[in-house]
């Protein structure tokens, strides 16, 4: 065994399950991470290239060996190309998710997707208006079909702009136009990343990085925003709701179904099927007291914020959930699903069910989801889980006690609604200095750093200093587990923020959803900037991803700085092998988009950096420090 469990995570439930894994002789991501040590130095620095078969090539970072690849590519070129490919993969993941959401929406409009309906007609009409589609004299389904078709066209468009990018303040749009990074079509930018990074195409690091920003904008203000908005139309725009978080939400006497991944398209149906009286009766017949659905990662966030379905944990807890011995079915769709789950599920009675036509894993039971029969598939999945209950070995059940309450579901609409339909009260609080600014803290877990340590400490430090925090993804789940999403967490906030939260009955950390829902943060930032008549880069705001690991996080980081928000990364991106790329990302890009990256693994120091930036922006707006 590797490190002491307390060094691996700050979360007591996670520690308990790591001890259980140890006792059972079961390997987790932390053990596999230890076995990878020392990790490849060339990879860490980003200086290895496999883009053609003259390679692989790598640059000697000590300047004693090769300083170019076979084709002549330098470390700067190789690092920039690799980063661009990471952005392309991340933008593709978000945007392909969005495409599937729109396709489901289209099938619903055509009457071919049983179980789906328009849940937020007002939002649909507002989106339709952005495209100049009038609902006058037409059925909601007719409007939905036309909207679905124009949304689909955003992916394959050859010339911009992508419509939702026009939600950005006019000043931000001119920044993009001036820099030549206003995206054209979502797919076009991603394809062009792959073209430019092919051997012998784009070999100027700055030119490559600018295209990375353009591609990332097509994700944040394109693919991700489309996913968020269409899902709101189909499943409802979130409003605040109470729920629970951490592995303690699993039930010792009920059938436990975990939904994991990123797309709510099927999990929404699973939630519905699990409430079906026929299924509940079957569960009772099998000896259980009922059916309990919980979530992991962002599929979990999606059903958490719309239905109050508890979240069992964040990224690094997916294996631990199975190790509780109490999970009848781990149902996955796409993204952030460890292939290790197949083997692991085989050590328990858990059925590892994969549902996406795009994502198969070793050791899964495939129950492919298609919109036309989503509800039927969901019922089959729930039935398979229920019928698996008698296979549970009570002697192996070990559910940690820990769970925490949380208040979630702060969509931009819900936040503005709570403020009386205008950002003015938030602006007033910022102007008076009661709230110093807004910190957006997001992103994954990563065994390179102590699980949840960066997330929870950074957020605590920000609220203590009167910075209102908005959160999504695995940071949101870490905050939920630490009790920071409860209104009572206001007592941890500074003297300015605390009374505001107490008066409104809201936590100082607002859960805005899943990873694609960082688009909600962009919409909120645009609303604030537009209200003040300034650019997003003028706002007293800063972002952070303390424990990021995925390529999606690279795309997110890029579109957040491209939107004008300074961002602190807690784990080091693979760019340090290029002095030029490192300098552009941490300094030079500021002159282009008004924001840059910093890297700071210590969450307390990261908070200081964010607060200093917020102070600087306050000064820029003529506000007191
Ligand atoms: Fe090597 Fe150039 Fe081929 Fe990359 S593209 S593998 S650096 S020869
Ligand atoms: S799930 S992308 S580990 S935040 Fe969205 Fe968590 Fe990162 Fe996946």
Give, as one character, the DSSP assignment of residue 451.
B
Taking the complete model, does pTM exceed 0.95, yes or no?
yes
Cα 444 to middle of ligand 2, angstroms: 5
Phi-psi region of 297 (alpha: psi -120 to 50; beta: other; left: phi over 0): left
pLDDT confidence band for 5 (50 / 70 / 90): very high
Q: Best mutation site among 58, 59, 71, 578 for ligand 1, i.e. most ligand atoms within 8 A of its Cβ? A: 71
Main-chain phi, psi angles of 112, to 5 degrees:
-110, 10
Two structure tokens written together for 247: 């592995």
Residues 521, 495: one domain? yes
Give nearest CA residue, ligand 1 atom 7.
69
- Distance between Cα 303 and ligand 2 center (Å): 15
Annotated ligand binding at 297? The verdict is no
Are residues 420 and 559 part of one domain? Answer: yes
If one residue of 43, 47, 55, 205 were mutated to test the ligand 1 pocket, choosing by the most ligand atoms within 8 A of its CB, it would be: 55
Overall average pLDDT of the 522-531 stretch: 96
Residue 375 has pLDDT above 50, yes or no: yes
- Integer Cα distance of 610 and 150 in angstroms: 39
In testing the pocket of ligand 2, which one of 91, 305, 336 has its CB within 8 Å of the most ligand atoms?
336
The span from the CA of 214 to the CA of 212, in Å, is 5
Q: Is 193 labelled as part of a ligand binding site? A: no
Task: For residue 491, give both structure tokens.
Answer: 């007592």
Q: Residue 365, SS3? A: strand
Indicate if ligand 1 lies below 6 Å from the C-beta of 52: yes
- Residue 519 CA to ligand 2 center (angstroms) comes to 15
Beta-bridge partners for 311: 245, 295
Q: Are residues 479 and 591 in the same domain?
A: yes
The answer to whether 519 and 220 have CB atoms below 8 angstroms apart is yes
Crossing angle for the helix pair 518-532 and 551-562, nearest 10 degrees?
0
- 11 within domain boundaries: no
Specify if 525 maps to a domain.
yes
Please, where are the H alpha helices in 46-185? 75-109, 121-130, 140-156, 170-179
| 297: in domain | yes
Task: Look at residue 3 in the predicted model and tell me its pLDDT.
Answer: 61
Cα–Cα distance, 490 to 545 (Å, whole number): 23
Please check the confidence at residue 128 and state whether its pLDDT lies above 80: yes
Evaluate whether residue 133 is within a structural domain: yes
- Looking at the fold, whether 338 and 221 belong to one and the same domain comes out as no
Is residue 483 packed enough to be buried (19+ CB in 10 Å), middle (13-18) or exposed (0-12)? middle
48 is in an annotated binding site: yes
Number of other CB atoms surrounding residue 61 within 10 Å = 17
Evaluate if residue 516 carries a pLDDT over 60: yes
Residue 523 tokens, joined: 């919409």
- In this structure, the answer to whether residues 34 and 88 fall within a common structural domain is no
Residues 6+ apart with CB under 8 A from 273: 279, 375, 378, 379, 381, 382
Closest CA to 595 of 471, 468, 440: 440
Q: Is residue 131 part of a domain?
A: yes
- CATH classification at residue 93: 1.20.1270.30
Residue 24, domain member (yes or no) = no
Q: Which ligand neighbours the alpha carbon of 58 most closely?
A: 1
Range 466-494 average pLDDT: 98
Any domain includes 397? no
What does the DSSP assignment read for 161-213?
A: --GGGGGS-HHHHHHHHHHT-----HHHHHHHHHHHTSTTS---HHHHHHHHH
pLDDT at 306 over 50: yes
How many angstroms does the Cα of residue 580 sit away from the middle of ligand 1? 19
Separation of alpha carbons 355 and 352, rounded Å? 10
Taking each helix axis as running N to C, give the angle between helix 75-109 and helix 140-156, from 0 to 180 degrees, rounded to the nearest 10: 160
Cα of 298 from ligand 2 centre, angstroms? 6
pLDDT 10s digits, 145-196: 999 999 999 999 999 999 999 999 999 999 999 999 999 999 999 999 999 9
Q: How far is CA 381 from the centre of its chain?
A: 25
Instruction: Look at residues 363, 391, 419 and tell me which one is the last residue of a structural domain.
Output: 391
Residue from 350, 309, 356, 351 nearest 336 by CA: 356
Determine if ligand 1 sits within 6 Å of the CB of residue 49.
yes
% of residues, the chain, pLDDT over 70: 99
Mean pLDDT to the nearest integer, 315-336: 98
- Cα–Cα distance, 48 to 156 (Å, whole number): 32
| Ligand 1 probe mutation, 42, 43, 47, 49, most atoms within 8 A of CB | 49
Residue bearing the CA closest to ligand 1, atom 2: 71
Same domain, 575 and 554: yes
Out of 46, 50, 66, 70, mutate this one to test ligand 1's pocket (max ligand atoms within 8 Å of CB): namely 70
Is residue 289 domain-shared with residue 184, that is, in the same domain?
A: no
- Asked whether the beta carbons of 397 and 250 are under 8 A apart, the reply is no
Which pLDDT band holds residue 418 (cuts at 50, 70, 90)?
confident
Q: In 3D, which of 257, 245, 259 has the Cα closest to residue 484?
A: 245
Say whether 501 counts as a known binding-site residue.
Answer: no
Nearest CA to ligand 1 atom 3: 52
- What CATH number is attached to the domain comprising 499? 3.40.50.2030
* Residue-number span of the structural domain to which 298 is assigned: 247-391
Distance from residue 182's CA to the centre of ligand 1 (Å): 30
* pLDDT given for residue 339 in this prediction: 98
- Of 45, 67, 89, the residue that ends a domain is 67
Does 276 map to a domain?
yes
Task: Classify 444 as helix, strand or coil.
Answer: coil
Ligand 1 mean position to 200 CA, how many Å? 9
Q: How many other CB atoms are there within 10 angstroms of residue 579's CB atom?
A: 12
DSSP state of 309: P
Q: How many residues are there in the chain? A: 625
Asked if residues 567 and 441 have their Cβ atoms less than 8 Å apart, the reply is no
d(CA 594, CA 589): 7
Q: What is the pLDDT of residue 114?
A: 87
Across the chain, what does the average pLDDT equal? 97
Query: Average pLDDT in the 75-94 region?
Result: 98
Asked if residue 43 has pLDDT above 90, the reply is: yes
DSSP H helical ranges for 219-339: 224-235, 264-274, 277-285, 297-307, 318-323
Say yes or no: 198 and 285 in one domain.
no
Average pLDDT, integer, range 64-76: 97
User: What phi and psi, each to the nearest 5 degrees, are found at residue 567?
Assistant: -135, 130
Position in ligand 1 atom list of the atom nearest CA 69: 7
Order of all β-strands in the sheet with 404-408: 365-366, 351-354, 329-332, 255-261, 291-296, 311-313, 241-245, 404-408
Q: What is the mean pLDDT of residues 41-64?
A: 97
Q: Is the predicted pLDDT of residue 302 greater than 60, yes or no?
A: yes
What are the φ/ψ torsions at residue 214 (nearest 5 degrees)?
-60, -45
List beta partners, residue 243: 406
The predicted model gives 345-352 an average pLDDT of 98
Residue 274 confidence (pLDDT): 98
Instruction: Give the pLDDT score at 108.
Output: 97
Q: What is the DSSP string of 573-610?
A: -TTTT-HHHHHIIIIITHHHHS--EEE---HHHHHHHH
Mean pLDDT (whole number) for 364-389: 96
Q: What is the Cα 457 distance to its own chain's centre?
A: 19
Domain tally for the chain? 4
Q: Give the pLDDT of residue 484.
A: 98
Boundary-marking domain end, from 235, 264, 298 = 235
Q: What is the mean pLDDT of residues 513-520?
A: 98
Report CA(92)–ligand 1 centroid distance (Å): 24
Smallest CA-to-CA distance from 358 within 381, 335, 340 is with 335
129 and 226 part of one domain: yes
Statement to judge: residues 57 and 87 lie in one domain: no
Nearest-10 Cα torsion for 514, 516, 520, 522: 130
Higher pLDDT, 114 or 465: 465
Rounded to an integer, the average pLDDT of 77-104 is 98
CA of 62 to the centre of ligand 2 (A): 34
Predicted confidence band of residue 1 (pLDDT cuts 50, 70, 90): very low
d(CA 108, CA 113): 5
By DSSP bridging, strand 241-245 and strand 404-408 are antiparallel
Residues near ligand 2 with C-beta < 6 Å?
Answer: 262, 297-298, 314-315, 336, 443-444, 473-474, 514-515, 550, 552-553
* Pocket flag, ligand 1, residue 55 (CB < 6 Å): yes
Residues 61 and 107 placed together within one structural domain of the fold: no
Together in a domain, 55 and 90: no
pLDDT digits (tens, 9 = 90+) for 282-293: 999 999 999 999
What are phi and psi for residue 594, nearest 5 degrees?
80, 20
């Amino acid at each position: 065994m590797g490190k002491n469990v307390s060094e691996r995570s700050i979360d007591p439930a996670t520690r308990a399950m790591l001890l259980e894994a140890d006792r059972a002789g079961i390997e987790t991501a932390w053990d596999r991470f230890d076995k990878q040590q020392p990790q490849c130095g060339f990879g860490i620095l980003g200086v290895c290239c496999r883009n053609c078969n003259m390679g692989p090539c790598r640059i000697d970072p000590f300047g004693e060996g090769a300083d170019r690849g076979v084709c002549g590519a330098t470390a700067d070129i190789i690092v920039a190309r690799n980063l661009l490919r990471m952005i392309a993969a991340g933008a593709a993941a978000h945007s392909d998710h969005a495409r599937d959401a729109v396709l489901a929406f289209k099938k619903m409009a055509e009457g071919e997707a049983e179980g789906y309906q328009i849940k937020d007609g007002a939002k649909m009409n507002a989106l339709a208006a952005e495209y100049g589609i009038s609902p006058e004299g037409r059925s909601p389904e007719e409007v939905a079909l036309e909207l679905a078709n124009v949304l689909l066209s955003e992916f394959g468009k050859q010339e911009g702009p992508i419509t939702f990018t026009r939600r950005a303040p006019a000043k931000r749009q001119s920044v993009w136009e001036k820099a030549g990074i206003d995206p054209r079509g979502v797919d076009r930018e991603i394809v062009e990343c792959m073209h430019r990074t092919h051997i012998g195409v784009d070999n100027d690091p700055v030119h490559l990085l600018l295209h990375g920003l353009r591609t990332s904008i097509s994700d944040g203000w394109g693919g991700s925003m489309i996913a968020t908005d269409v899902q709101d139309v189909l499943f409802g725009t979130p409003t605040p709701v109470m729920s629970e978080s951490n592995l303690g939400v699993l039930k010792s006497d009920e059938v436990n179904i975990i939904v994991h991944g990123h797309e709510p398209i099927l999990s929404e149906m699973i939630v519905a099927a699990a409430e079906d009286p026929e299924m509940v009766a079957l569960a009772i017949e099998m000896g259980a007291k009922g059916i309990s659905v919980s979530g992991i990662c962002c599929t979990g966030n999606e059903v958490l914020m719309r239905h109050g379905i508890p979240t069992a944990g964040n990224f690094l807890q997916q294996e631990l959930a199975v190790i509780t011995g109490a999970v009848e079915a781990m149902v996955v769709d796409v993204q952030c699903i460890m292939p290790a789950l197949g083997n692991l599920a085989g050590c328990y009675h858990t059925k590892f069910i994969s549902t996406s036509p795009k994502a198969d894993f070793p050791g899964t039971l495939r129950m492919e989801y298609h919109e036309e029969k989503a509800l039927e598939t969901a019922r089959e999945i729930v039935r398979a889980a229920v019928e698996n209950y008698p296979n549970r070995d009570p002697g192996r059940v070990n559910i940690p006690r820990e769970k925490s309450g949380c208040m979630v579901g702060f969509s931009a609409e819900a936040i503005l609604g709570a403020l009386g339909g205008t950002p003015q009260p938030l602006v007033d609080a910022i102007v008076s200095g009661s709230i110093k600014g807004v910190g957006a803290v997001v992103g994954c877990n990563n065994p390179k750093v102590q699980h949840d340590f960066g997330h929870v400490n950074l957020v605590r430090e920000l609220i203590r200093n009167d910075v209102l925090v908005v959160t999504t993804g695995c940071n949101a789940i870490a905050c939920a587990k630490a009790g920071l999403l409860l209104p009572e967490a206001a007592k941890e906030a500074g003297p300015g923020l605390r009374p505001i939260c107490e008066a409104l009955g809201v936590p100082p950390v607002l859960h805005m959803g899943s990873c694609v829902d960082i688009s909600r943060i962009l919409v909120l930032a645009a609303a604030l900037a537009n209200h003040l008549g300034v650019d997003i880069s003028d706002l007293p705001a800063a972002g952070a991803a303390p424990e990021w690991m995925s390529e999606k996080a690279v795309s997110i980081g890029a579109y957040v700085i491209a939107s004008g928000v300074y961002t602190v990364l807690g784990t080091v991106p693979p760019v340090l092998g290029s002095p030029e790329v490192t300098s552009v990302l941490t300094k030079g890009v500021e002159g282009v988009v008004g924001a840059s990256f910093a890297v700071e693994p210590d969450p307390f120091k990261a908070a200081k950096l964010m607060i200093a930036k917020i102070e600087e922006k306050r000064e820029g707006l003529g506000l007191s420090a």
